[in-house]
Chains A and B, each alone.
Chain A
Amino acid sequence: MGQQTIGQVGAAGPVTGIAEERRGEPAAPKRGRGSDYRLPFLYILPAAAVLGLVTLYPIVYQIYMSLTDYTRRNLRGNPPEFVGLDNFARILTNDLGISNFNFYRTLAFNVTWTVTNVFFHVTIGIAIALLLNRKRRIIGRRFFRSVFIFPWAMPPLVVAIVWRNMFNREFGAVNLLLGSLGIPNDIRWLESTNAPISFLGFLPLAFYAVLLVNVWLGWPFMMVVATGALQSIPGDLYEAATIDGANRWRQLWDITVPLLQPAMVPAIMYGSILTFNQFNVIYFITGGGPFGRTQILVTQAFELVNPQGLYGVAAAYSIIIFFVLLAITLLQNRYLRGLEVA
């Protein structure tokens, strides 16, 4: 009896409990709204509030500003006037009354700047990673690996200012070096408007100067990513290929490159966006000069605020930049998804 009872209790209790819970399952969310779901929301609340305050609110406010004639006059609280899409129209028709402002030239330059930079970053980065990863070890490999990260580890502002001084016409290291080699050393790296490559007339000498700086600055990152990926490629693949009679070149193209791809693709996407918005190098070396021809979108946007004080126009400008970047990212995604399938 006693046993039975215990057994019954023991069996019935939990069993009915489980059954009840099972039966109750569909109803659970209803009941949960009251208690179970409130708690997670509470957990999210602080982060959501902060995010709303520091991200969402500025974005919404910026959209509002882009539709007004907000200038310095409105900083002390008097509300700006609503102008609709006027700011966007003025930007797209280059009608701002600012020296050397040309949205389309800036956009074209920005794309050229990004493509050339990322191309050099990736090729140099992979090439050096391959060199440092050879089976026959280069002496001082570790040393090189750490030294090569140097440019990447330095604060970009410092790098930019040092390079700007190096490109100085009279006292800069670049011209002094050329002079000591007996090459004419009166090159106006950052001011000359001449295009060294005549069919690329829209690229002044200053473009090549900042390109050099940013390539110097950017390839170590790609090298680091490529090194990581190279080290994860199993050695037996190469052994097998050697046995099958594939030469070095074949091995590079059929083993190394495809296996690097998964690591390099995100790095390239990241690098593209970073380079597209590479404010420091442009702003602190050329300042967009000569005549705004090395201006990129973000430096131009900054100059709309400082020194121009055109907050409304600058807000509209950065919304345009957002759509440009969105378009580029979507295109890139599509192209890269294609690569993955292949």
Chain B
Amino acid sequence: MTDEKRSNDLIRRALRARSSRRDVVRRGAALGLSAPAVAALTARSAGAQGTPPAFNSELSGEITFWHGLGTEAEPLTNTILPLFEEQFPNVSVNVLQVPFDQLQNKYNTEASAGGGPDVLLGPSDWIGGFVEADIILPLGDLMDEELRAGYNDASLSGVTFEDTLYAVPQNINGVALFYNTDLVQDPPKTTEELKSMAGELATGPDQYGFGLVANFYSNAGYLYGYGGDVLTEDGQQSAFDSEATVRFLTLLQELAQTEGVFTQADQGAVESLFQEGQVAMMFNGPWFLQGARDALGAEKVAVALLPAISDNDNAPARPFVGVQGLYINSNLDPEQAELAFEFARWFSTVGTQILVDEAGQLPASTFVTVPEDEPAAETFVEQYEVGVALPTAPLMQSVWTPAGDMITKVIEGQATPEEAAQEAAETINSAG
């Protein structure tokens, strides 16, 4: 890149950041948060339509916040946190960005030893393990009926474990089919179409029709589409040892062997090929929208429903629908917990509005509005309507690695689908 081009880029980025900041103020006003009148907005009556209950901007102190966001970390540091510190002038926020695949373990270890951050942003399948380890605060006392009314029901039930609410829901997420409109006009409706299109789109040596991320999360929709499940109903055992799992693994094996399909266990590797335009389609969630749009241009990234399952009467794929929640550390004293909760509540409303606008997230708070010109949102919502709530049982923390190995072993030809399913079930069960 030439220096001139780079500096142009920088200017453009700076302009974008500034305009989005203006957007924020505008939207903030819509939420009842006009910038100069923080005091006034906190005094505003809580019952008002479309306005989150007032924030206590008098609070003071320090908050440590951990998250595992990727490209979404940019609006977080550039826009959201400065805005928070503007509205809460006596509170300072220390942010730590942890690679997502290490976040759960890092929190688990540090909070178990009595430390850890005040607030953690993480997905809902971590709840069971965290509750078992007694490292997150139940929010019963902090989050009364009135506050709960400001979040949609699906998101609240997503962060509820054994009838207790354990997080402030922030966004709802799950996978659908991403495609590059330069390469794909009509996205495939069924898995058979997906296979044939993958071959047609593989026009060159480094050109692939479909990028298969060989992990469990991205593809679990097909396990449920075949009628399978991850855990038994009581959440105590693995349910992998089933006919549905075998059919699910067989489908993935066929996909991996299809011409024009690029298979890789590393999500980032497939994502980067999609961003380069070398992979035309992949399964991914709203968190990838910003990264894909930045790389390809917003108009080239489109989202469609996951292809229906051809050899199961075109049953829809039913992906995991998870909730990203803000957890409060149980090691905090009540005063600090209150401050942390206030931050979480602010982040899930005002802060999330920015992530919705800039990164295409789907909010959990009903006070956050999804822009009308966001084309992906409708598709995601439609997809999640047939989805399956991400399980929260403690055993979930022992699922991902064996389940991922189960898939790669079948794709690599190291095991038959039957053997792999059985082995994964045994591993998960002996961990529980």
Contact = CB atoms under 8 A, between A and B. Distances in A.
Contact of B402 (A76, A99, A193, A307): A99
Given A72-B108, A73-B133, A75-B114, A95 B402 contact: no
Given A169-B264, A170-B273, A306-B105, A76 B112 contact: yes
A291 interface: yes
Contacts of A98: 427, 431
Interface string A85-103: 0000000000111111000
B113 interface: yes
A308 to B, nearest CB: 9
Contacts, number: 54
A307 B105 contact: yes
B405 A76 contact: no
Nearest to B424: A99
Contacts of B134: 73
Nearest to B431: A97
B414 interface: yes
Interface in A174-210: 191-193
B269 A170 contact: yes
Interface residues of B, number: 28
A309 interface: yes
A306 B109 contact: yes
Contacts of A96: 430-431
A309 B104 CA distance: 12
Interface string A286-310: 0000110000000000000011010
A95 B409 CA distance: 20
B409 A291 contact: yes
Contacts of B264: 169
A115 to B, nearest CB: 26
Interface residues of A, number: 20
Given A97-B398, A100-B405, A76 B265 contact: no
Contact of A76 (B113, B428, B432): B113
Interface in B88-118: 104-105, 108-109, 112-114
Nearest to B114: A76
A170 B264 CA distance: 11
A309 B107 CA distance: 12
Residue among B265, B273, B405 with the highest chain A CB neighbour number at 10 A: B405
Interface in B260-309: 264-265, 269, 272-273
Interface string B400-418: 0110010011001010000
Nearest to B398: A97
Contacts of A290: 408, 412
A11 to B, nearest CB: 76
Contacts of A309: 105, 108-109, 112
A99 B112 contact: no
Given A72-B109, A73-B133, A170-B273, A191 B265 contact: yes
Contacts of B114: 75-76
B429 interface: yes
Given A75-B113, A169-B264, A291-B414, 12 more contacts: A72-B109, A72-B112, A72-B133, A75-B109, A75-B112, A97-B430, A97-B432, A99-B401, A169-B269, A290-B412, A291-B405, A307-B104
21 contacts: A72-B109, A75-B109, A75-B112, A76-B113, A96-B431, A97-B398, A97-B427, A97-B430, A98-B427, A99-B402, A169-B264, A170-B273, A193-B412, A193-B414, A290-B408, A290-B412, A291-B414, A306-B105, A306-B109, A307-B104, A309-B108
Name the 6 nearest CB pairs between A and B, nearest first.
Answer: A97-B431, A97-B430, A72-B112, A307-B105, A75-B113, A75-B112
